[in-house]
């Protein structure tokens, strides 16, 4: 362990009270008084013992020596006698009420950190919390390997419980569907997971249809998960893992972690997609209200012709004439401008995804 660098020290916090100085000045020899004072300052404000530190900035030694009234260059003499340092540490412990880190304190810290682990799984956050808790309880901080072991153990216990809560109700069929998310889509190298992560695009009826299709896919997994006992922050952290990792990474997870992460991601994604759908719907409604009657009629015709092409066995020319277009060139131009693709390419693109959902998706687009 290392204390902060020179620039990170707040020297003002290392000021002694008169009571402290009275105890410090009971010791003979300047280097013993300065060494005792440094040990007290380090333990009180950092929670560490002097033996854990590899370096103490000169500015710190100078600041403490001025309070004690001795020269700072005598401090190296203090390091020459290990028994003296141990005796002083024991005196400080008894005088100021500090406790050594024993098995009892190990269990105490584990119980406290388990509660924090249910709220946040971030490793560095838990390390900081553990150090703060030990300082507040006036427990002398042990080596960092011990703190790391405590944090690793409690985080593991918390994760196992969270995973169990998320996957305990899953059926064999649901697990198969979760596995399928990591598999390639038909006639494509793209996995369903990659497809679900795709950004819908601009605020348009086409983007709305893509969102509806994804929501329908997730709905078929039939997740009915009770998350009341899981802290929302933990669900978000799991969801972020699901949004970031590639399928090959998921396959390296053990089953509980893999399925729990996918469940958390799908639950979070469902909410995000729903919010996006409402936002697109609201913007489209506002856009329609701002249209002239002719523009409004044109959009309705384009939505209707798209529905016909998706649901009926009919060619593009016949569909265009059916909704009132007299010029195929005009129809192709307006269709591409509105949907972003020519009619045939647009319909083929949609058809690469679940054909069974096309009628419902097209109807949703018509409502827009």
Whether pLDDT at 184 is above 60: yes
Q: What is the mean pLDDT of the chain?
A: 85
Q: What is residue 368's predicted lDDT score, i.e. its pLDDT? A: 32
What separation in angstroms does the CA of 21 have from each of 47, 110, 128, 273, 322? 20, 36, 31, 64, 97
79 and 19 inside one domain: yes
Segments forming the whole domain that contains residue 59:
6-96
26 and 55 inside one domain: yes
Classify residue 167: in a domain, yes or no: no
Q: What is residue 79's predicted lDDT score, i.e. its pLDDT? A: 75
- Of 44, 77, 96, which marks where a domain is finished? 96
366 compared with 139, residue with greater pLDDT:
139
Selection from 16, 79, 11, 30 nearest residue 51 by Cα: 79
265 and 308 inside one domain: no
Q: What is residue 337's predicted lDDT score, i.e. its pLDDT? A: 86
Whether pLDDT at 59 is above 60: yes
Helices (H), the chain: 18-24, 30-46, 58-68, 75-78, 82-96, 103-119, 123-136, 144-167, 172-181, 192-197, 205-219, 232-244, 247-252, 255-289, 293-311, 316-322, 328-339, 343-351, 358-367
298 and 326 inside one domain: yes
Q: What is residue 354's predicted lDDT score, i.e. its pLDDT? A: 36
Classify residue 168: in a domain, yes or no: no
- Of 289, 318, 351, which marks where a domain is finished? 289
Q: Kindly state the average pLDDT of the residues 268-290.
A: 79
Which residue is listed with tokens 């509105």? 338
Q: How far apart are CA 201 and CA 261, in angstroms?
A: 26
Q: How far apart are CA 356 and CA 217, in angstroms?
A: 11
Whether pLDDT at 363 is above 60: no
Classify residue 195: in a domain, yes or no: yes
Per cent of the chain over pLDDT 90 is 51
179 and 262 inside one domain: yes
pLDDT tens string 115-166: 999 999 999 999 999 999 999 999 999 988 999 999 999 999 999 999 999 9
Classify residue 194: in a domain, yes or no: yes
Classify residue 63: in a domain, yes or no: yes
What separation in angstroms does the CA of 298 have from each of 5, 176, 202, 203, 333? 68, 44, 20, 18, 12
pLDDT tens string 71-124: 999 999 987 888 898 999 999 999 999 999 999 999 999 999 999 999 999 999
Number of domains in the chain: 4
- Of 79, 96, 113, which marks where a domain is finished? 96
Q: Kindly state the average pLDDT of the residues 176-191.
A: 91
Whether pLDDT at 18 is above 90: yes
pLDDT tens string 202-239: 777 778 888 889 999 999 999 988 888 899 999 999 99
Classify residue 223: in a domain, yes or no: yes
179 and 282 inside one domain: yes
């Amino acid at each position: 362990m290392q204390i902060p660098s020179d620039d990170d020290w707040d020297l003002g916090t290392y000021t002694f009270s008169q009571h402290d100085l009275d105890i410090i000045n009971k010791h003979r020899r300047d280097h013993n008084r300065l060494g005792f004072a440094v040990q007290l300052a380090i333990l009180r404000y950092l929670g560490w013992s002097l033996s854990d530190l590899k370096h103490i900035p000169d500015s710190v030694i100078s600041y403490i020596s001025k309070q004690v009234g001795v020269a700072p260059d005598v401090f190296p003499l203090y390091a020459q006698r290990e028994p003296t340092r141990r005796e002083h540490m024991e005196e400080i412990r008894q005088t100021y009420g500090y406790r050594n880190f024993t098995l009892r304190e190990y269990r105490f810290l584990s119980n406290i950190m388990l509660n924090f682990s249910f709220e946040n799984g971030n490793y560095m956050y838990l390390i900081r919390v553990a150090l703060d808790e030990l300082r507040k309880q006036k427990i002398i901080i042990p080596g960092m390997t011990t703190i790391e072991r405590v944090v690793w153990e409690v985080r593991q216990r918390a994760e196992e419980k969270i995973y169990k809560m998320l996957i305990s109700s899953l059926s064999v069929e649901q697990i198969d569907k979760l596995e399928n998310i990591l598999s390639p889509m038909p006639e494509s190298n793209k996995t369903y997971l990659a497809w679900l992560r795709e950004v819908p695009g601009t605020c348009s009826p086409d983007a709305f249809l893509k969102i509806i299709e994804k929501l329908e896919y997730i709905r078929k997994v039939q997740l009915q998960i009770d998350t009341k006992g899981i802290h929302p922050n933990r669900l978000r952290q799991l969801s972020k893992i699901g949004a970031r990792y590639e399928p090959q990474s998921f396959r390296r997870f053990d089953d509980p972690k893999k399925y729990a992460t996918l469940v958390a991601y799908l639950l979070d994604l469902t909410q995000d997609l729903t919010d996006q759908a409402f936002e697109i719907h609201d913007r489209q409604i506002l856009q329609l209200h701002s249209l002239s009657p002719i523009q409004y009629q044109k959009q309705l015709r384009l939505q209707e012709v798209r529905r016909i092409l998706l649901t009926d066995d009919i060619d593009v020319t016949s569909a265009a004439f059916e909704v009132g277009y007299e010029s195929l060139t005009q129809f192709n131009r307006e269709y591409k401008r509105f949907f972003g693709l020519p009619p045939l390419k647009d319909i083929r693109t949609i058809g690469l995804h679940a054909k069974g959902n096309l009628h419902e998706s097209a109807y949703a687009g018509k409502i827009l």
